[in-house]
Amino acid sequence: MGKKLNRWIIYILFLGAILLVVSIFSLCTGSVAIPLKKVISSIFEGRGSAEYSIIFDIRMSRIVLGFAIGGSLSLAGVILQGMFRNPLVEPYTLGISGGAALGVCLNIILGFNGILGIFSMPISGFTGAVLVIILIYFLSIKKGILKIHGLLLTGVMISFISSSLIMLLMALTHSENIHGIVFWLMGSLEEPNWSLIKLAVLVSVSGLILSYLFCFDLNAMSLGEEEALHLGINIEKTKRLLFILASLLTGLSVSLTGIIGFVGLVVPHFVRMFVGADHRILLMGSYLCGATFLIFCDTLARTIISPMELPVGVITGILGGTFFVYALTKKQVVLGEK
């Protein structure tokens, strides 16, 4: 156990160091390149310089939000894959993103911005996500038992229904609304409101801490529900709590940044290949790796065709799909199975 713990500590320190390096790289990189020495001097000089405004008013907010959202989506992916014992499950499979997207589309078309202001998009997205979570939960629970396969199939169907309704709304609305809907659907970390960013960090870190209360339960459930029951796990209670935790992490992420695909699917696979299927290291490893991946993708989105900006969901889709194909070709441990 001592050697395993030492190895896990090395993994965490290594992933934390990569996260720090990528964050610093992101601070220095953009349409206006700022040397690291200038970044450090701007911190001590305080407000007043153009570099300080670029670093702290634009780039820092995206890095912090990328840390929270990337970590949340990866964490939700690990939880759901362990819960369903299915490596193809991701946070958006359950239709949560579809509900959030439908809520945002209705908000844009009906013009709630004037009533709720800058909070209208997150509130409408989170409301849509929560309504879908409640609907899926009650459709999948029978006689107090949460049917895992029914949960998955219901989520997929609701996702298709939501996508169809979004296309219907886009066909009926004015052309000026379509641009806002499409850009939001492709995902972006452009969120200037620090109150929302702090909320995202708080929920994300809290979710990581809470997930560790279930790390042994997830390890047991990876062996099968029957085996977990023999090991003394309260299966139904654990499934409900894990579903709620993963859903809230996903719902908040989608409501703040739009649909950023592949993070919750690819990152757990990639981390599992290197650190193993034990959730005691997999949860933290996936969280740090997901945060690093999203910050890096956002940096690429800002710089590839600078000064124009690509939606970060485009970059995560291209890189995530490439990594996923690579992961499938490797004979590695997947969810504890060889």
Please, what are the averages of pLDDT over each run of 10 residues along the chain (338 residues)? Answer: 84 95 90 77 69 80 94 94 84 83 84 68 84 86 77 87 89 81 82 86 95 92 81 85 89 86 88 88 95 94 84 89 77 46
Q: Given phi > 0 = left and psi -120 to 50 = alpha, else beta, which region is 43? A: alpha
Q: Is the peptide bond before 307 cis (omega within 30 degrees of 0)?
A: yes
Tokens 């819960």 — which residue?
83
- Cα separation, 312 vs 183, in Å, equals 10
**Given this model, what pLDDT does residue 170 score?**
87
Q: Residue 193: phi, psi to the nearest 5? A: -80, 115
Which pTM does this prediction carry? 0.88
**Considering only CA atoms, which of 254, 242, 271, 213 is closest in space to residue 68?**
254
**Given this model, what pLDDT does residue 120 score?**
78
- Cα separation, 16 vs 20, in Å, equals 6
- Cα separation, 49 vs 130, in Å, equals 43
- Termini Cα distance of the chain: 22
Tokens 């490893």 — which residue?
285
- Residues 6 or more apart whose Cβ sits within 8 Å of residue 245: 76, 79, 207, 210, 211
Beta strands in 42-190 (DSSP E): 141-142, 145-146
**Given this model, what pLDDT does residue 113 score?**
65
For the chain, how many helices (H) and strands (E)?
A: 16, 2
Q: Which fold has domain 2-329?
A: ABC transporter involved in vitamin B12 uptake, BtuC (1.10.3470)
- Classify 334 as helix, strand or coil: strand
> Which amino acid is it at 26?
S
- Cα separation, 123 vs 249, in Å, equals 14
- Cα separation, 3 vs 132, in Å, equals 44
Tokens 């199975």 — which residue?
337
Note the Cα 68 to chain centre separation in Å: 8
**Given this model, what pLDDT does residue 67 score?**
96
Q: What share of the chain is helix, strand, coil (3-state, %, to 5)?
A: 80, 0, 20
**Given this model, what pLDDT does residue 15 score?**
95
Tokens 């409501």 — which residue?
255
- Cα separation, 218 vs 68, in Å, equals 22
Instruction: Name all contacts of 39-46 with Cβ < 8 Å and 24+ positions apart.
Output: none
**Given this model, what pLDDT does residue 306 score?**
77
- Other C-beta atoms closer than 10 Å to the C-beta of 205 total 15
Apex 250 CA angle, 246 and 254, nearest 5: 175
> Which amino acid is it at 194?
W
In terms of Cβ atoms closer than 10 Å to its own Cβ (0-12, 13-18, 19+), residue 149 is exposed
Apex 268 CA angle, 94 and 311, nearest 5: 70
**What are the structural domain ranges in the chain?**
2-329
**Given this model, what pLDDT does residue 194 score?**
85
